[in-house]
Amino acid sequence: MHEFEIQKKFAEACRTGKLDDLNVDKERLQLYTEIIAINVEDALVNAFPILNTILPEEVWEKVVRDFMKEKLTTPYLWQLPEEFMEYILKSKWKNALDIPFLEDLLMYEWLELELFYRNEVEDEKVFNWNQSFDLNTNVEIINFKYPVHKINLYDYDEMVGLKGSYPLILYRNLETNEIEYIEITPFLYEVIGLIIQGKTPLEAVEEIASKYQIDYMEVLEPLEQFFKKLTAKKILI
C-alpha cells in the first residue's frame, strides 16, 4: 500500500527532524518533530534531572535524538526512562559520555522514580534470627561504585575521586511515601544478600562473619537492633 510509504516517510521526518523527503508544508511538519521531541525530552528530563544538568545541552540533545531514532518501543511513557537508561548503557554513548559514575547515576535516578510506583507487602513480620525473610517489593538493595545518592554534596571531580563501595538499601518509606536510603556496610550488604537467597539471618551472619573473620556472637546484639528496624519499616518481610 503506497500509504504505508507516506506514513514511513512522515514517521522518519518526525524522528530525525529531516524534512526533505515529504511533500508537505515544512513548517507544519516541523511542528510535529518539535512536539514529539518535547514529549520525549520532558519524560527524560523529569526522570534524569541530574544527568541532564551534568551533560552539556548539545550533548544531551544528541543523546536524546539518537535514542529517538533507535528506540521508543514501550507503549507506556512512564517506562521510557528505563528504556533510555538501557539504551545509553548498551550504546556508544556509554563510553562517549565519559562519566565514570554514569551507570550508578542512571540507576539511582531511575529507582528514585520507579520505587514510588511499586506495590508493597503490607504485613509486618516480627524479627526472629531463625526465620526466613525477604525484601519487600518497594525496596532495592544496591552496591554503588560512587556515592551518587549524595551527589548534591560533591562536585563532579570530587565524585569521580570517591570511587569505592557504597552499599545502600533504597526504599519507599511507607509512612511518608518519600524515597529514602539507608547506608549499610559491605558486611551487611552480603548478609542481606544471603537472607534474600533464603538463609535465616543467623545462618547469613555466621557465614559472612566467618568470611570477615569476625566472631559472630559479638555482632548479634547490634545486628538484632538493625534487623528489628528493618522489619519495623517493613523493609524485611
Partner 1 sequence: MIKDAGLGLRRSFLYDIYDYDIKPNWFEIAPENWIKRGGPILKQFEKIRSDFPIACHGLSLSIGSPDPLDFKFLEELKQFLDYYQIDIYSEHLSFSMEGGKRFYDLLPLPFTKNMAEFVSEKIMQVQDYLKRPLILENISYYLTLEEEISELEFINYILEKTGAYLLLDVNNVYVNAVNHGYDPKDFIKNIKLDRVKYMHIAGHLDYKEDLLVDTHGEKVKDDVWDLLEFTLDLTGNVPVLLERDNNIPPYQEILEEYKKLESIIKKVQEKHARI
Task: Point out which residues bind partner 1 (CB under 8 A).
Answer: 1, 3-4, 6-8, 10-11, 14-15, 24-25, 28-29, 31-32, 35-36, 39-40, 43, 70-78, 80, 116-120, 138, 172, 177
DSSP 3-state assignment of 52?
helix
How far apart are CB 6 and partner 1 at their closest, in Å? 5
Which lies closer to partner 1 via its Cβ, residue 24 or residue 153? 24
Q: Which helix (H) or strand (E) holds 169?
A: strand 166-172
How far apart are CB 171 and partner 1 at their closest, in Å? 12
How far apart are CB 115 and partner 1 at their closest, in Å? 8
For 121-128, which contacts have Cβ atoms below 8 Å and span 24 or more sequence positions? 121/234, 121/237, 122/234, 123/234, 123/237, 124/231, 124/232, 124/234, 124/237, 125/231, 125/236, 125/237, 126/231, 127/201, 127/224, 127/227, 127/228, 127/230, 127/231, 127/236, 128/201
Which lies closer to partner 1 via its Cβ, residue 177 or residue 185? 177
Rounded to 5°, the CA angle 12-16-22 comes to: 45
The Cα 92–Cα 63 span in angstroms is 10
Which lies closer to partner 1 via its Cβ, residue 85 or residue 208? 85
Which lies closer to partner 1 via its Cβ, residue 34 or residue 158? 34
How far apart are CB 176 and partner 1 at their closest, in Å? 10
How far apart are CB 16 and partner 1 at their closest, in Å? 11
Which lies closer to partner 1 via its Cβ, residue 26 or residue 211? 26
